[in-house]
Structure 1
Amino acid sequence: MQQYVIYKRVSTADQGRSGLGLEAQTRDITLYLDTFSPEPFEVIGEYLDVQSGKDDDRPELLKAIEHAKTAKATLLVAKLDRLSRKVSFISQLMEDKRLDFRVAAMPTATPFQLHIYAALAEQEREFISQRTKAALKEAKRRGVKLGGLRDSTMKRNDVLKAQAQQRAGKLENIVVPMRERGDSMRAIASALNSAGIATPRGGKWQAPQVKRLLDRVAK
C-alpha cells in the first residue's frame, strides 16, 4: 500500500492569496490522491507550519521529513514552494536517498524538472526584487514622495506588473508556437495546467488569461 505524509505551509500573507491558502493546498493534494496516486493508499501523517518559505528551519517540516523517511512513505506537498523557496534546500531533499516526495500540482514531473522549476522560480523572485528596488530608486530620484497610501498602492502595482511581464517572457517559447500552429486559447490553457504551471496568482489557467499573456508577449 502506498503511504503518504502530507505537509502544508502558510504564512500570514499566503492566507489571503488564491492558490496558497490551506483550503487550496488541501484541494490540490486531494486531487492528486484521487487522480494520480497508486491504489490503495493511506495518509499516515499530516503536518503544518505557519511560517515563511524563506526559513528552512521549520519544525513541522523536519518532523514530516523524518516521519516519511522512517515509514518509507512519500512526502506530499501541494506546490514546490510549500517545501521551500530556496533551490539549494530543494536540491538537498532531492539528494537524500531515503526521502521520496511528490508535488501535487506537478504530478508527473521528474526530479530534474522539479529542480529546474525551483531554480527558475528563485531566479524570478530575485529579478522582481531587483527590478522593484530600481524602480523605487528612480522614483526617489525624480522627487516622488514614498511611503503614503497612494505610493504603497503604486509600488504594489509595479510589482504585480513586473511579475506579469516576467512570467510572460518565461512562457513566450511555449505559448507563441502553440498559438502559431492554430491551438485555441482553451487548448493552451489546458496545456499549461497539465504542465503544472500556475498563473501569476497561483491559480489555474483559463482562455482569457492566456489571451492577456499573449498580449503581453506581443508588446
Structure 2
Amino acid sequence: MLIGYMRVSKADGSQSTDLQRDALLSAGVEEQNLYEDQASGRKDDRPQLAACIKGMRSGDTLLVWKLDRLGRDLRHLVNTVHDLTERGIGLKVLTGEGAAIDTTTASGKLVFGIFAALAEFERELISERTKAGLASARARGHKGGRPYKMTPAKVRLAMAAMGHKETKVGVLCEELGITRQTLYRHVSPTGELRPDGTKLLKSH
C-alpha cells in the first residue's frame, strides 16, 4: 500500500499542502491514505506522522514530496529512515535533493542502506562519546584508550565514501575514528570490499 505524508510549516493556514497533495495523488496514493501535519520543521510533536508510521505494515511504501517534509533535523530523519527499514517499510521521495531515495529501485535501496548505516554509526558515536575518560584523553592528544575499531556500519560508510573521488581519506578516517591502515584493510581506494571487510560484514 502507498501512504502519503504532507507537512506545512505554519498552522495558521498561510501555507497550503496543495502542491504536495497533487504530487502524492499523481504518484498513486489514494486520498484516504494521505496524512497531514501543520508544524514547524523543528517541532517534535507531529501526531499525523506518528499515526501514519504506526499504522504502516511490512511491504507498504511511505511517499513524501520532499525529504525535508519527513525529518525535523538530520538525526530525526536518519532514525526515522532506519526504523522504517527495520520494519520492512519502503520510502520514496518524489522531488528535491532526496529524490534518489526510492526503495522500489536498486539504486534507491543503496541510498536507503546508507541511511541505515548512518543511523547505526550515529548510535556508535553516542556510545563512544559517553566514555569520558577516552574523550578526555583524545582532547589532550593522548593515544591511549580503546583501540581503533572497525564496525559493519563504518565499513558501509567507508565503501560509499571511497567511491567518490572528492573524498579525503584523512578526513574520512578522522570521522570514523580509525587509522588509514585499518581503513585500507577493509576497503579499497575505490570503495570495494577487501577480505577483512567481507569477513566483518558476514560475521554480523
Could you say which TM-score interval applies, normalised by the shorter chain?
0.3 to 0.5
Bigger RCO of structures 1 and 2 (CA < 8 A, at least 6 apart): 1
Give TM-score, length-normalised by structure 2.
0.42
TM-score by length of 1: 0.39
